[in-house]
Amino acid sequence: MSSSVTLTGRLTAVPELRFSAQGTAVAAFTIVTSRRVKDQQTNEWSDADVTYWDCKAFKQLAQNIADSLDKGMEVVATGRAVQESWEDRQTGAKRSKMVVRIDAIGPSLGRATAVVTKAGSGQGQPAYQQARRQQGAASAEDPWASGTPGTGQPAGGGGGWGSGGEGEPPF
């Protein structure tokens, strides 16, 4: 029996996509979680309860993760805690570790925006690249469209609301 896990944290590195001998896509990545606490005496914030979670996803979800997520992104993920066991190749010793098998994951929208593109079975990277090209074409025609999702930068790359690139509206 496995335990359900929900994680909200940041990716420590770009998810690594590999394929099993049978051709199944496997994405491996780490999510770091922590909570912010304020020291009442110094008035300074720090991280507490920092935990690194090894995660794995399979099949189409693995490909979508590799195509969509990047180092440093804040994500919300759900899955099951499982224990993986193996034999060390050099020493022959039995090893094991806890891993979260991811069932669903997405960007946290607390401090970011996202553009969602539906990926059909087997689409993966080509579908993502085509959607980005279509978005770029739409951005060139629409001065209010965001050129890079999550950055808030206009399509023209000018850096803001006209001159100066201050990123705030002039009102």
Q: Where does residue 121 fall: left (phi above 0), alpha (psi -120 to 50 degrees), or beta otherwise?
A: beta
Residues in the chain: 171
Mean pLDDT on 164-171 = 51
How much is the average pLDDT of 96-115? 93
pLDDT, one tens digit per residue, over 17-70 is 999 999 999 999 999 999 989 999 999 999 899 999 999 999 999 999 999 999
pLDDT for 147? 45
The string of DSSP codes covering 67-102 is: HH--TT-EEEEEEEEEEEEEE-TTT--EEEEEEEEE
Tell how far CA 161 is from the center of its chain. 29
Helix (H, G, I), strand (E, B) or coil at 36: strand
| Phi, psi angle pair for 70, to nearest 5° | -140, 165
Whether the pLDDT of residue 127 is over 80: the answer is no
- The answer to whether residue 118 scores a pLDDT higher than 70 is yes
How many Å is the Cα radius of gyration of the chain?
20
